């Protein structure tokens, strides 16, 4: 912890004014401290990435693919330690921490395969209508990129950004969340281990000051940010000042639509997974439940029982279904929404309270008949708080689901697959699941519409986000 910043291939002491305390949310006790980077160190990191760019972007695609495979293998070798770190610093149950690790490995492996042979696909000819000219396309690294990642899925969100950026030939400055800074340091350790050229990957940890310094730095060619809409707006403002491209993955208030031909028990499983995974601390949490009249009474009763039955506790001490919220600030925020619900007179079928004692725990919560004007229906809570409404027709369900400032994901549950596909096509979101938990695959895209962000991550779209398109046209005469 004395040297927590990885800049130009070297570990450095923090030179910032702030001390970051790293907490174990299940006990509310700190277990590590580190000094934040200074704005001067952010500048050093960007300059190191700038200096490393010319050589890195001209490295063969097969060599970049080899480095990415090395990252995947090295993460796998650290499996036990990284899973325990996720459980300890995030409060994730073991099965969730295991999924996170597998996701990070899969991301690096996928982009290694996608990168292999990129050079062979360069100089793609373009057919021209005009005679006497030829033209071809080049896909080139966009340059030096700043990556700012959140605390709810550390290791994973950073993999979604680092892997395609390196694959494209970009150099990187990563700013982890101050809530979960430790696990991201593994990427610097692996870079050292693999002999990644100095400056290709840099890590500078800190709070808002470090994030602001990075997002405003003139030396960046692109910025990719995942986090809240409030901070995303400030990041977008910084990008606008420099006319800089950016990717934003922001908030959500997603709907899960359950039709009355659905098996109730199965629907309950999908609903619980959509709101209780990571204690609801997901931009993709399906926190608005729309259930058709025909099964509403039976489903809500069964759902309340299922939420009350979830095992909530310390993942390091027992086998649990849901852990604590990751920070005290988030625990207070969710508690404030419980107070809002009481003030609004919402009908609580399960939970609706903080669980006092050691650790930042809340009860999985269900409110019924929540009106559309309620703050709990319209605002992202980022906790295990589910709000339900009923609908009668397919058209009403679509209208209710789309009536949101956000447009990240949705889930449709129905035995009628033609209807499910029809509804999926009508939903104004970036990803729809049909009769499924939120299974995210690296081959598919991730991102949303409306206030949920700009651009896409994962799949070939994630790679193209770090590439610029160049055409070379010449006269044949």
Q: How far apart are CA 261 and CA 394, in angstroms?
A: 12
Task: Give the per-residue pLDDT at 224.
Answer: 98
Q: Domain 255-441 is of which CATH architecture?
A: 3-Layer(aba) Sandwich (3.40)
Torsion of CA 352, 357, 358, 360, to 10 degrees: 20
Locate CATH 3.40.309.10 in the chain: 255-441
pTM for the structure as a whole: 0.97
Report pLDDT digits (tens) over 197-215: 999 999 999 999 999 999 9
Mind giving me the DSSP string for 240-289?
HHTT--EEEE-----EEEE-TTS-HHHHHHHHHHHHHGGGG--TT---EE
Q: Please say if the pLDDT value at position 160 is more than 90.
A: yes
Task: Give the per-residue pLDDT at 117.
Answer: 87
Cα dihedral 157, 159, 162, 166 sign: negative
**CA 377 to mean position of chain CA atoms:** 22
Task: Give the per-residue pLDDT at 2.
Answer: 77
CB 19, CB 35: distance < 8 Å: yes
Half-sphere exposure of 104 (CA within 13 A, CB side): 30
Average pLDDT of the residues in 304-332: 97
Q: Please say if the pLDDT value at position 167 is more than 70.
A: yes
Count of Cβ atoms closer than 10 Å to residue 319 Cβ: 10
Task: Give the per-residue pLDDT at 333.
Answer: 98
Average pLDDT, the chain: 97
Q: Please say if the pLDDT value at position 1 is more than 80.
A: no
Which of 170, 262, 283, 387 is labelled catalytic?
283
Q: How far apart are CA 284 and CA 276, in angstroms?
A: 11
CATH for 5-250+452-475? 3.40.605.10
Task: Give the per-residue pLDDT at 344.
Answer: 97
Q: Please say if the pLDDT value at position 357 is more than 80.
A: no
80 sits in which H/E element: helix 79-90
Task: Give the per-residue pLDDT at 477.
Answer: 81
Report pLDDT digits (tens) over 78-106: 999 999 999 999 999 999 999 999 999 99
CB 204, CB 37: distance < 8 Å: yes
Q: How far apart are CA 234 and CA 215, in angstroms?
A: 9
Report pLDDT digits (tens) over 126-150: 999 999 999 999 999 999 999 999 9
Q: How far apart are CA 367 and CA 271, in angstroms?
A: 13
Task: Give the per-residue pLDDT at 400.
Answer: 98
Locate CATH 3.40.605.10 in the chain: 5-250+452-475
Which of 249, 262, 380, 387 is labelled catalytic?
249
- pLDDT above 70: percentage of residues in the chain: 100
Torsion of CA 158, 163, 169, 175, to 10 degrees: 10
Report pLDDT digits (tens) over 250-281: 999 999 999 999 999 999 999 999 999 999 99
Q: Please say if the pLDDT value at position 241 is more than 70.
A: yes
Active site residue 387: no
- pLDDT above 90: percentage of residues in the chain: 97
Mind giving me the DSSP string for 141-186?
E--EEEEE--SSSTTHHHHHHHHHHHHHT-EEEEE--SSS-TGGGH
Report pLDDT digits (tens) over 172-199: 999 999 999 999 999 999 999 999 999 9
In total, the chain counts a number of residues equal to 477
Q: How far apart are CA 223 and CA 231, in angstroms?
A: 13
């Amino acid at each position: 912890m004395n040297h927590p910043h990885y800049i130009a291939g070297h570990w450095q002491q923090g030179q910032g004014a702030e001390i970051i305390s790293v907490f174990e949310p299940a006990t509310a006790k700190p277990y590590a401290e580190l000094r934040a980077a200074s704005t001067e160190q952010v500048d050093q990191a960007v300059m190191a990435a700038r200096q490393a760019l010319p050589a890195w972007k001209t490295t063969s695609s097969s060599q970049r693919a080899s480095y990415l495979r090395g990252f995947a293998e090295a993460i796998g070798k650290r499996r036990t330690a990284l899973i325990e770190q996720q459980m300890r610093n995030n409060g994730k149950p073991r099965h969730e921490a295991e999924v996170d690790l597998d996701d990070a490995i899969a991301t690096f492996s996928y982009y290694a395969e996608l990168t292999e042979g990129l050079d062979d696909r360069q100089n793609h000819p373009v057919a021209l209508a005009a005679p006497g000219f030829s033209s071809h396309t080049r896909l080139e690294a966009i340059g030096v990129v700043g990556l700012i990642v959140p605390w709810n899925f550390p290791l994973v969100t950073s993999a979604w950004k680092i892997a395609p950026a390196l694959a494209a030939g970009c150099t990187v400055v990563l700013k982890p969340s101050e809530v979960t800074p430790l696990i991201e340091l593994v990427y610097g350790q692996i870079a050292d281990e693999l002999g990644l050229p100095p400056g290709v990957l840099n890590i500078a940890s800190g709070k808002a000051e470090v994030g602001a310094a990075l997002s405003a730095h003139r030396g960046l060619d692109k910025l990719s940010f995942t986090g809240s809409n409030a901070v995303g707006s400030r990041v977008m403002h910084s990008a606008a000042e420099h006319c800089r491209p950016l990717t934003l993955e922001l908030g959500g208030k997603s709907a899960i639509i359950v039709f009355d031909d659905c098996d109730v028990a199965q629907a309950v499983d999908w609903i619980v997974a959509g709101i209780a995974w990571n204690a609801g601390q997901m931009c993709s949490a399906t926190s608005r439940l729309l259930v058709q009249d025909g099964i509403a009474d039976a489903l809500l009763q069964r759902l309340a029982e299922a939420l009350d039955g979830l095992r909530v506790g310390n993942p390091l001490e027992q086998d649990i279904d849901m852990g604590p919220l990751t920070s005290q600030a988030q625990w207070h925020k969710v508690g404030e929404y419980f107070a809002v619900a009481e003030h609004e007179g919402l009908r609580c079928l399960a939970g609706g309270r903080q669980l006092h004692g050691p650790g930042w725990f809340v009860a999985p919560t269900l409110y019924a008949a929540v009106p559309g004007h309620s703050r709990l229906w319209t605002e992202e809570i980022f906790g295990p708080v589910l709000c339900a409404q009923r609908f009668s027709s397919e058209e009403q369900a679509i209208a209710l689901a789309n009536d949101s400032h956000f447009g990240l994901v949705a889930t449709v549950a129905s035995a009628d697959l033609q209807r499910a596909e029809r509804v999926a096509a009508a939903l104004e979101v970036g990803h729809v699941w049909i009769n499924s938990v939120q299974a995210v695959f690296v081959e598919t895209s991730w991102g949303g519409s409306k206030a949920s962000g700009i651009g896409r991550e994962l799949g070939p779209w994630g790679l193209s986000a770090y590439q610029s398109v160049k055409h070379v046209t010449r006269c044949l005469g």
